[in-house]
Structure formats: C-alpha cells, structure tokens
Amino acid sequence: MGRKATLRDVATLAGVHYGTASRALREDTAHLVSPETVERVRSAATKLRYTPDLIAQSLRTNRTSTVGVVVPDIANPIAAALTRGVQDVLRGAGYVGLVVSTDANQAHERSEIAALVSRQVDGLIVASTKTPSLYSEIAASGTPVVLANRRVETDLPTVTASVGDGIEQAIDHLLSLGHREIAYIGAAGDANTGLDRHVAFERVMRARGLDSSDRAVRLSPGYGQHDGAELFERLLEEGGRPTAVIAGNDMMAVGVLSVLRRMDMSCPEDVSIIGCNDLPFMEFLNPPLTTIHVPHAEIGSAAAEALLAILRGEDPESTELPVEFVTRASTAPPSH
Amino acid sequence: MGRKATLRDVATLAGVHYGTASRALREDTAHLVSPETVERVRSAATKLRYTPDLIAQSLRTNRTSTVGVVVPDIANPIAAALTRGVQDVLRGAGYVGLVVSTDANQAHERSEIAALVSRQVDGLIVASTKTPSLYSEIAASGTPVVLANRRVETDLPTVTASVGDGIEQAIDHLLSLGHREIAYIGAAGDANTGLDRHVAFERVMRARGLDSSDRAVRLSPGYGQHDGAELFERLLEEGGRPTAVIAGNDMMAVGVLSVLRRMDMSCPEDVSIIGCNDLPFMEFLNPPLTTIHVPHAEIGSAAAEALLAILRGEDPESTELPVEFVTRASTAPPSH
DNA sequence: TTGAAAGCGATACCAG
DNA sequence: CTGGTATCGCTTTCAA
C-alpha cells in the first residue's frame, strides 16, 4: 500500500475510464462530465489521497508551475528579502520558486541557468546578472524573464526602485539641516544600482547650486564595510572635512561610522551619515542609521506579478517602485 | 527553428534510432554503442544544442534532481545562510533547491509541502516545523527527509549545533572575567533551539556552584529585540542587578543593549552582554557583540550531504556541529 | 456524457 | 551493437 495513488487508481475505484477521471478532477473540464460522476470520482480521489503528479502533468502541458529565481547570493539580506517577496506572490498562483545563487560568477550563472531551463521553468526572475544578453536569448526562446532590482540595458521587463529620488531626498534633508560640505562614498562597480546613485548625487548637488568644491565623491570597486571605511579614511587624510556623508549603501555607511569611532569623532555630532537600502539591522545601530529604504520584498513581488502577467499572455510594463527616506539618528545639524 | 531540440531530432540528424541516441549520450550506457556512433550522436547533439528534458527524464526515472528546502522565512538571515549552505552542496551534485517559506504557520506548511511532494522532489531538507509527524509520514512514504537546525522528537536524521557547549563557554568566559551575577534572557517558545539554551544555562550554572540567587532567568514567548528589552527592563525594575547577561539570541541581546542605553548605563562597563547565533551584523554593533557563532551555512551543507547520502542508499547519522564562542567587545570584567 | 487512443520526451528491456 | 517497443502519469482530441 506504499505507492502513490495514480489517476488510473481513482478511475478504477470510481468505475470510470481514467480519461474521464482526469476531466472530472480539473475545474475547467468538470462541466463536461455528469455531476454524479464528478462526485464519484472526487470522493474516490480523496479516499485514495490522490494528488496529481505534476511531473507527468508538466510533460503533457509544457507548464511546470515553477519559476527560477536567480540571485547573487541568497544569504545576502537584499536577495533574501527579494526572494521572499517573489515567493509571496507565487504561492498564491500555485507556483513555487527554484532558487539559485550565482555568486556574481559568470560560469556559475550559466550553469545554474542551464539547470533551471532544462527543468523547464515557466519563467525566470533575475536579480543578478553581468550578462543580460543571456536572458534576452532565453526570453526570445520562449521562457519569459523579468529583471529585478538592477537596471541593465535590455528590453526585458524590469522592476527597480527609484533610488535617485532617495538620494535627492537625502541631500535635501542634509541641506535643510544646514550642511554644505557633503561627501559621497560609494561603489564604482558595474552594478547599475551603484552607478545610479553617485550619478544622482552629482546631478542633484549641481542642481542645488553646490559647486564641486562642496562635494567630494569617492568610489571604490568594492562595496563592503571595509571599502567604505577605507574611502572615508583617505578622504580625511587628504584634508577633506565633510560635515555629512551619503554612502552608496548601508554597509559602506557602517564603514564610515567605524572610522569616525576610531578617530574619536562622533555621529551625528561631528558628521552626519546617510546609508542606502535599509538592511534589516540598521535601526539597531548606534546611532540608528538614517537611510534610504529600498523595498526589496516589494520589488520581488512586483517582479513576480509581472512574470505571472506574461504567463497569462499580458505584456506588463517595467516599473519603478518608490523608495522611502527614513530619518533616524545618524543625521543632525552640523556642529558650529 | 524556435523549438528546443529533442532526442529524436539528434537521432535523425545522426541517422540512428532515438533509443540508440539516448544510450550514446549518457555516460553509463555509452559503452553499449560503437565509438563512431557515439561520436556521430554527440556531435549532432552539440550542433543542435540539445539538452535533455529533465521533466521527461523524471517521469521515466522517478528522480527529479530537485530537493525541497523548507524554512520558516527565507528573509530571516539564519534561514538564508542555511539555504546557502544547502545550495552549495546540491549544486555539486546536479541538484537544485525548491525553496519555500512556511511562516511557522501550519496551514502554509502543509500546502507548501504538498506543493513540493507533488513536484516529486527527491528529498526534503526541513529547517522549520511544528509538526514533525508530517515528515515522518513523508519519509515513510519514500521521500527522504533531513531535519536541520532544530532538534525535534523524531528518528529522522537531524543536523544541529551544540549550542549548549556555547552556553557553557559563555558562562565560563564570564566567570573568568569575575562575574557572579549572571542573568539569562531568552525565549520560552516551543522551538527546541530555544529550550536547549536556557536549560543549558541552568545546568551549567549549577554545575559551577552558582546557586539560584546568583542567576536570574527570564523567558518570554517571543524572541525578538523587543522581547529581550522588555524582559531585561522588568528584571531591573524588580531589583535585579546582574553584571552580565546571556541572551537566548542576538536580537534579544540587542534589546538588552537598547535598554542599557536608554538608562544611561553602558556596555560592557556596567553590564556585559553575550548573544547567540552570530547574525551577519553583530560585529558592527557598538560595542561589537560577543556571541556564540552557530554555523548555519555548515548546518545546511551537512544536511544536504546527509540527504545526498540517503539518496545514494546510505544511512547517515544525525550530527551535531560545534559552535564557536566569539569574544568581541560587549564583555569585560565587572566594574562593581 | 463517456471511452479509446494518441502523444509529451525520455529510459530500458527484448530481440535481432 | 542497434532497432523496436512498452511505459512513466497525465491531457486532450476524436468517436461512439
């Protein structure tokens, strides 16, 4: 009695042909079958604890109700939040996510994608890629792809956040506090999410009439806590005396904070700091970090919605979700 | 030219029967085919960019090279790290993970599990469950299950960490620093991961000859930052004056820290704090948190190894991985 | 309304 | 060594 019940099992128990059983069990075809037969089949099914074999179903229908989720590293809180958002909307539609981490490594990426494609995923949500062309091909071959979080040159539907607006709010917040010497510490990498940020910084500063002597922009290839610390330390060594710094992400902000601490300067008294992303722990830092909240889970959800829309035959637009500037305790008026 | 190449396509291109093509392409049967035929088939395959349809393959072989990963919430850093560890070993074996979040909600859990089972996953790695019996059934029905992180009453193979040892090291660390009044602030929930901890605390304290007047144990149903804060605040109100506190997890430790700050007491001068888990950000707190590092990724990897072993027909033991006590700056001798 | 039968794309057994 | 064929569990068209 170990084996799983199959469609034929319920059919024989109900005394009908298995084709009929199939029709009786699925919503969209049940109306082709007499009510009493439907009843008989259904009760047979529950008696046998029948659940359809999705593999067989997939082979027949070419749909697996499975989507691939491609992130750089699921252990990274941004990717994790995004994945959660994806799951939340997939669940409602009967889909589940095949999640892979690429480590931002092209070889890994290719092989993971291959693994997903050969498993016939119905679509892909990609939150990490150095090779968008890879996905254009996939999309062209019929597997829909939605890009999330990072904007890349492509015509694939993409869900991003308007981090530029956040930078603008950050700058205006600082200006209204009385700051004039504002530095930017960020990543120069190819991730467009990084580029947007420092470009936005420069643009807004200029727009506010702050000339280049008022701003110091420092970029590094990395984007970790250490990179932020190093960049800020060098800025100080070279005589920079910003009263506030905007960091390209929260980790780099933490790096700046650590340098301050080491030099016996304090935040926000001596220098104000603003981060970006609003990672899970930022409110518990000392001081709690003022930062730009990027709605990663919502980005994931929106990407999943877009993918489902494509699967329904619609043609969703790319969207840009608003960010939220959240002021906590790492910013204050400049002292003196 | 859009459609994917199938086995018959490469067979006709190579001028052989598709059964032969199948044999030629798979390692274990290639020796049944003449070398030149193998060659012909293989080149046809690469020319057509043939990749086997894993769905069809699965239907035939009853193996999907897919495993289900069940976590409470993928956005939770512990679950994320664990999942990463799982992925790392699965990747090497050609498996991918179908990841679902249950929200510690039984209804969700059941439906997610059903989704995985009907997708014919080859096995399950479960890092969250209130209903172990559910999995015993599944295992009995032939789908192997490995439990990770939480110990529950079951005979399923389980991978955990020896957090009790960590608690012991934490206490000894505190004692060697000169502390005598040590409090424990933790969760009372049904998660065995929580129970272990305060039980270990009581046991070790007694073993070290500290009688109950030297220890205050406070438990709450929740296990967040807020719960930790509340518990500690109440302890203080009721006249408790511990010189050190061990928290059941890092979030609760942060809660304790926040109370200290609010009361203008400082850590570690006024009270030392030790956390548990070593979540990603703990080294960047102020002060950096002394804590018990639980190797979540390794737990995930070990669980995946165990699952693969079962799939190979072996019978792996349950294992308990060592934790690492990491001393940072939130502990110091009592100032008295 | 129901039964029969053809496949989906692969594997594997049995002959030749 | 290779070809034919049954089969995995299901959906779906075609007749009856």
Q: How far is the CA of A124 from the C1' of D8 (A)?
A: 28
Report the nucleotide nearest the CA of residue B33, measured to C1'.
D1
Contact A117, A87 (CB under 8 A): no
pLDDT at res. A333: 98
Contact A300, A84 (CB under 8 A): yes
Report the nucleotide nearest the CA of residue B18, measured to C1'.
D3
Please check whether residue B331 touches A, CB under 8 A: no
Q: How far is the CA of B328 from the C1' of D2 (A)?
A: 70
Q: Looking at the domain covering A163-295, what would its CATH class be?
A: alpha beta
Kindly give, in sequence order, each residue whose CB lies less than 8 Å from that of residue B61, ignoring residues fewer than 6 positions away.
Answer: none
**Amino acid in position A223:** Y
* Residue A44 pLDDT class (50, 70, 90 cuts): very high
Q: Residue B26, CB, less than 7 Å from strand D?
A: no
Give me chain A's average pLDDT, please.
Answer: 93
The two three-digit tokens of residue B89, written as one number: 């070993």
CATH of B64-160+296-321, one of 3.30.200.20, 3.20.20.70, 3.40.50.2300, 3.30.420.40: 3.40.50.2300
Rounded Cα gap, residues A101 and A107, in angstroms: 12
Kindly give, in sequence order, each residue whose CB lies less than 8 Å from that of residue B13, ignoring residues fewer than 6 positions away.
Answer: B44, B47, B48
Residue from A7, A48, A55 to probe the interface with B (highest B Cβ count within 10 Å): A55
Kindly give, in sequence order, each residue whose CB lies less than 8 Å from that of residue A285, ignoring residues fewer than 6 positions away.
Answer: A254, A257, A330, B284, B285, B286
Rounded Cα gap, residues B174 and B244, in angstroms: 7
Residue B213 carries which DSSP code? G
Does the fold of domain A163-295 match that of domain A64-160+296-321? yes
Please check whether residue A294 touches B, CB under 8 A: no
Q: Which residues of A180-198 are buried (b: 16+ CB within 10 A; e: fewer)?
A: ebbbbbbbbbebebbbbbb
The two three-digit tokens of residue A299, written as one number: 């980005």
pLDDT at res. A158: 95
pLDDT at res. B1: 41
Domain boundaries, chain A: 7-52, 64-160+296-321, 163-295
Q: Residue B34, CB, less than 7 Å from strand C?
A: no
pLDDT at res. B151: 76
Q: Residue B120, CB, less than 7 Å from strand C?
A: no
Report whether pLDDT(A315) > 50. Answer: yes
Q: Residue A37, CB, less than 7 Å from strand C?
A: yes
Residue range A100-129: mean pLDDT, rounded: 93
Please check whether residue A53 touches B, CB under 8 A: yes
Question: pLDDT tens digits, residue range B212-248?
Answer: 777 889 999 999 999 999 999 999 999 999 999 999 9
Rounded Cα gap, residues A274 and A254, in angstroms: 10
Q: Residue A47: how many CA atoms within 13 Å on its side-chain side?
A: 12
Chain B hits for A281, Cβ within 8 Å: 279-281
The two three-digit tokens of residue B84, written as one number: 């990463």
Q: Which run of H or of E encompasses B135? A: helix B132-140
Nearest to B156 by CA among B132, B177, B176: B132
Question: By CA distance, what is A60's nearest residue in B?
Answer: B56
**Amino acid in position A248:** G
> Three-class SS of residue B37?
helix
List bases in chain C with any atom under 7 Å of a protein Cβ.
Answer: 1-13
Instruction: Name the residue with the least CA to C1' distance from nucleotide C2.
Output: A20
Rounded Cα gap, residues A168 and A191, in angstroms: 20
Q: Residue B161, CB, less than 7 Å from strand D?
A: no
**Amino acid in position B33:** V
Contact A63, A121 (CB under 8 A): no
Q: Residue B56, CB, less than 7 Å from strand C?
A: yes
Chain B hits for A91, Cβ within 8 Å: 100, 108, 112
Strand partners, A66: A96
User: Three-state SS string across chain A, please?
Assistant: CCCCCCHHHHHHHHCCCHHHHHHHHCHHHHHHCCHHHHHHHHHHHHHCCCCCCHHHHHHHHCCCCEEEEEECCCCCHHHHHHHHHHHHHHHHCCCEEEEEECCCCHHHHHHHHHHHHHCCCCEEEECCCCCHHHHHHHHHCCCCEEEECCCCCCCCCEEEECHHHHHHHHHHHHHHHCCCCEEEEEECCCCHHHHHHHHHHHHHHHHCCCCHHHEEEEEECCCCHHHHHHHHHHHHHCCCCCCEEEECCHHHHHHHHHHHHHCCCCCCCCCEEEEEECCCCHHHCCCCCEEEECCHHHHHHHHHHHHHHHHCCCCCCCEEECCEEECCCCCCCCCC
Question: Exposed/middle/buried for B18, CB within 10 Å: 0-12, 13-18, 19+?
Answer: middle
Residue B322 carries which DSSP code? P
Please check whether residue B77 touches A, CB under 8 A: yes
The two three-digit tokens of residue B80, written as one number: 């994320």
Cross-chain Cβ contact A115/B99 below 8 Å: no
Question: pLDDT tens digits, residue range B144-178?
Answer: 999 998 877 788 999 999 999 999 999 999 999 99
Cross-chain Cβ contact B258/A284 below 8 Å: yes
pLDDT at res. B192: 66
pLDDT at res. B55: 97
Report whether pLDDT(A191) > 80. Answer: no
Nearest to A50 by CA among A40, A42, A59, A60: A42
Residue from A118, A121, A251, A277 to probe the interface with B (highest B Cβ count within 10 Å): A118
Q: Residue A22, CB, less than 7 Å from strand D?
A: yes
What are the C-alpha distances in Å from B336 to residues A302, B137, B205? 55, 56, 21
Q: How far is the CA of B63 from the C1' of D8 (A)?
A: 11
Residue range A77-93: mean pLDDT, rounded: 97
Contact B100, B52 (CB under 8 A): no
Chain A hits for B75, Cβ within 8 Å: 77, 80-81, 83-84, 297
CA of B56, closest CA in chain A: separation in Å? 6
As averages over each run of 10 residues, the pLDDT of chain B (336 residues) reads: 81 94 93 93 95 96 97 97 98 97 92 95 91 89 92 88 96 97 88 78 94 86 95 95 96 97 96 97 94 98 98 96 98 91
Strand partners, B125: B69, B146
pLDDT at res. B214: 76
Rounded Cα gap, residues A82 and A159, in angstroms: 11
Report whether pLDDT(A103) > 70. Answer: yes
Rounded Cα gap, residues B289 and A285, in angstroms: 12
Q: What is the dihedral of CA A243, A248, A252, A257, to 10 degrees?
A: 20
* Residue A1 pLDDT class (50, 70, 90 cuts): very low
Q: Per DSSP, which regions of chain B are E strands? A: 66-71, 96-101, 123-126, 145-148, 158-161, 182-187, 215-220, 244-247, 272-277, 290-293, 319-321, 324-326
Rounded Cα gap, residues B179 and B271, in angstroms: 10
Contact B88, B298 (CB under 8 A): no
Q: In chain B, positions 140-169, which contact chain A (CB-CB < 8 Å)?
A: 141-142
pLDDT at res. A246: 98
Rounded Cα gap, residues A154 and A152, in angstroms: 6
Beta strands A96-101 and B96-101 are antiparallel
Please check whether residue A39 touches B, CB under 8 A: no
> Three-class SS of residue B209?
coil
Q: Which residues of A154-174 are buried (b: 16+ CB within 10 A; e: fewer)?
A: bebbbbbbbbbbbbbbbbebb
